[in-house]
Structure 1
Amino acid sequence: MTNPPRLRQLVIAARSLETADQLAQVLSLGTPYIDPGVGEFGLVNRVYALGDQFLEVVVPVAETAPAARFIARGGEGGYMAIFQTDDIAATRARADAAGIRRVWNIDLPDISASHLHPADVGAAIVSIDEARPAESWRWGGPDWQKNAVPGRLTGAVLTSNDPARLAARWAQGLGVEANGGLVKIADADLMIHPGPVDRLARFRLAIPDAAEAAARAIRLGLEVVDNELRLAGVGLVLEQA
């Protein structure tokens, strides 16, 4: 039986890599991985390791990039959530049976992945990946363990004018159950709040120095309210680990 997926990576689409620099300064992140593979999607990126999970900033460099269209429609913001499964074949079969389109698939010796169409799940691209071995993560780069800093992703908040509907669609794609506007997975909660549009609105992070990180953000001139940092259209909820 397939185990529930876990949250492995959250992605911001931004207009400039200055967002990545600000994120790194606020969270005292390590050296990022620059993935040349995202050029396939008309992007440049920075990937930072937080424990064995990841924060990524992508910036479109081609007008035809899907991320460029995303920003043109609704501004910078939460662009993708990547989940880890232990059975990619079951994931793909479930998506196909439910009529959820897979817009990108890859099968490499150390990882297989499928991106689910954001029009079919809502709010953002959902990627479901099977890493081999499970503790590895190709998208973090070859040195991510060395560059990781303490912390973890504890969840995400989405908005929708129909939270139960959006929760049900994400739950269906992930192979779990929705409870109203809540989707629980192996190590995180996905909460769907009322809002005008479907949007991946907030990332929740548990870090050892939440108060200090908020102070660093304020010194950089960024908006912080009740330990929630606003950066490139995303709320980063800083929780004390």
Structure 2
Amino acid sequence: MVRLRQLVLAAREQAPVEQALRELLAAPAPHHDPDVGAFGLTNAVHAAGCDFVEVVSPSEPGTAAGRWLARNGGDGGYMLMVDGPATLTAPDRLAALAVREVHRVDLPDVVDVHLHPRDTGGVLLALDAVDPAGSWRWAGPAWTESSPTCAGGLREVTVTVPDPGEVTRRWAALLDVPAVGGGCRLPLDDGRQHLSFVAGAGAVAAVTAARLAWPGVEQRAADVGGVRFEVVPLEET
């Protein structure tokens, strides 16, 4: 089963977006991963049910995120991270799909592969295979090789792209899932999540909207980091 686990925003200034996300998600203190410094970034990873919303900001010139921010003309949804079976990350499978890897790490509890956006046609996509199920090393020690009790998370994500039809076909193959309803929409997590591609005026792909749900949350919405967020109670999804 393939599941969206993390939405990543890129922001020129991390602190205000980090604070706005924490308020929107009513989240505990985020995890700051020093390892992203290898990419010239700082970050904050916020828990949202069983899934996560991260913000990254360049800490030095010449980063991929910094170049994306310049092309996008400001903050926005920069990357999606997907959790799936180990076969999803197999190098021979990705080579057969004519997609380049820009980063790969193999650890005892996770294989993490980042795919070249020019080959996916959409935003930066990371394919992850975790063990044990539900763990998520990138969220910090509490989620490394274990999974705290949780429910809900990401439910709908919208990505604006120049050619929705072509990108839908490409991502359906990359994620090994079928498009539904004859449109540009992919079901994930056994239908509990959906990923939609819509046409945009520009040439830069970006996540522009996200809907999240978990138990006991009050319904609210806000624009944060160039993304329109909606948070609803899990009972309403």
The question of a shared fold, defined as TM-score above 0.5 by the shorter chain, is answered with yes
**Equivalent in the alignment of 1:82:** 81
Q: Does the 8 Å CA contact 1:204/1:237 hold for their aligned counterparts?
A: yes
Give the distance between the partners of 2:147 and 2:132, measured in 1 at CA: 18
1:97 aligns with 2:96: yes
Deviation at 1:26, TM superposition (A): 2.1
Render the CA deviation track for 1:40-70: whole Å, top value 9, x for unaligned.
Answer: 1110000111222111111111111110111
1:235 aligns with 2:228: yes
**Equivalent in the alignment of 1:223:** none
Q: Does the 8 Å CA contact 2:10/2:77 hold for their aligned counterparts?
A: yes
**Equivalent in the alignment of 2:9:** 12
Write the mapping of 1:44-55 to structure 2, written as runs, cut at 5 A.
44-55=42-53
Give the distance between the partners of 2:150 and 2:131, measured in 1 at CA: 23
**Equivalent in the alignment of 1:171:** 172
1:181 aligns with 2:184: yes
Give the distance between the partners of 1:209 and 1:142, measured in 2 at CA: 25
Indicate how the Cα distance of structure 1 residues 39 and 157 shifts in structure 2: closer, same or farther if over 3 A, else same.
Answer: same
**Equivalent in the alignment of 2:41:** 43
Gaps of 5+ in 1: 215-226
Gaps of 5+ in 2: none
Could you tell me the TM-score, scaled by structure 2's length? Answer: 0.86
Indicate how the Cα distance of structure 1 residues 176 and 151 shifts in structure 2: closer, same or farther if over 3 A, else same.
Answer: closer
Write the mapping of 1:210-229 to structure 2, written as runs, cut at 5 A.
210-211=218-219, 214=220, 227=221, 229=222
Indicate how the Cα distance of structure 1 residues 146 and 199 shifts in structure 2: closer, same or farther if over 3 A, else same.
Answer: closer
Deviation at 1:107, TM superposition (A): 0.3
Deviation at 1:127, TM superposition (A): 0.4
Give the distance between the partners of 1:106 and 1:128, measured in 2 at CA: 11
Aligned-pair Cα RMSD in Å: 2.1
1:209 aligns with 2:217: yes
Deviation at 1:22, TM superposition (A): 1.1
Deviation at 1:135, TM superposition (A): 2.1
Q: Does the 8 Å CA contact 2:88/2:175 hold for their aligned counterparts?
A: no
* Equivalent residue letter for 1:152: G
SS in 2 for 1:143: helix
Give the distance between the partners of 1:119 and 1:23, measured in 2 at CA: 29
Task: State the number of aligned residues.
Answer: 223
Render the CA deviation track for 1:70-123: whole Å, top value 9, x for unaligned.
Answer: 101112111111111121465433221011111100001111111011111123
Give the distance between the partners of 1:21 and 1:148, measured in 2 at CA: 24
Deviation at 1:37, TM superposition (A): 0.8
* Equivalent residue letter for 2:175: L
Indicate how the Cα distance of structure 1 residues 157 and 67 shifts in structure 2: closer, same or farther if over 3 A, else same.
Answer: same
**Equivalent in the alignment of 1:27:** 25
Q: Does the 8 Å CA contact 2:89/2:127 hold for their aligned counterparts?
A: no
* Equivalent residue letter for 1:53: D
Could you tell me the TM-score, scaled by structure 1's length? Answer: 0.85
Q: Does the 8 Å CA contact 1:88/1:112 hold for their aligned counterparts?
A: no
